């Protein structure tokens, strides 16, 4: 958290060799193995080593989660490359006010809800409005592509909420 991301180690043991690069806040990873409070991952997006082991929480009291479960489906922005991203609106309706910034191509978002081909999202990684509405497709062209949500994790900011004793699937790194 405080030094620019999570410390990444070569092995599950917290005494194993530390890598020189940290897993940065907001990075997305795929879970390979979870052992107690340790997670072995494969890098997906953001900044950090391609693979390694990280702690999932800091000891308390209360314990602080270093990763957060992403509850919704994860989507990647595939469209808008020639325009700097896709149009974002303040509501589900296509007549809703257009936001000043676009959601940049290559960004990852979490689905909060949907209405037809409109997606209510929260930004996980990338650039653009933090939360609003976008079109999944326009004129048959896919603007967003669904990711394999059951395998993606994200490095997220520190949370003071106690960790949940359940299998980690999709997480966000805390900073």
86-110 exposure pattern, b = at least 16 Cβ within 10 A, e = fewer: bbbbeeeeeeeeebeebbbbebbbb
pLDDT at 25: 84
pLDDT at 60: 78
Residue pLDDT, tens place only, 86-126: 999 999 999 999 999 999 999 999 999 999 999 999 998 89
Q: What residues of the chain score a pLDDT lower than 70? A: 1-3, 148-175
- Does this model's pTM top 0.85? My answer is no
pLDDT at 149: 52
């Amino acid at each position: 958290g405080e030094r620019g991301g999570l410390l990444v180690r070569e092995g599950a043991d917290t005494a194993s060799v530390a890598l020189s690069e940290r897993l940065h806040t907001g990075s997305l990873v795929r879970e390979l193995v979870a052992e107690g409070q340790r997670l072995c991952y494969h890098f997906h997006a953001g900044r950090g080593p391609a693979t390694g082991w990280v702690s999932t929480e800091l000891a308390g009291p209360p314990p602080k989660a270093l990763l957060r479960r992403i509850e919704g489906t994860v989507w990647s922005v595939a469209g808008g490359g020639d325009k700097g991203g896709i149009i974002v609106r303040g509501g589900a309706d296509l007549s809703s006010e257009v936001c000043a910034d676009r959601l940049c191509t290559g960004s990852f978002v979490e689905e909060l809800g949907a209405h037809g081909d409109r997606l209510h999202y929260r930004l996980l990684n990338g650039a653009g409005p933090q939360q609003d509405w976008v079109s999944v497709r326009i004129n048959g062209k896919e603007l967003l592509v669904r990711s394999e949500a059951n395998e993606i994790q994200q490095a997220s900011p520190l949370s003071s909420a106690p960790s949940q004793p359940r299998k980690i699937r999709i997480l966000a790194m805390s900073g």
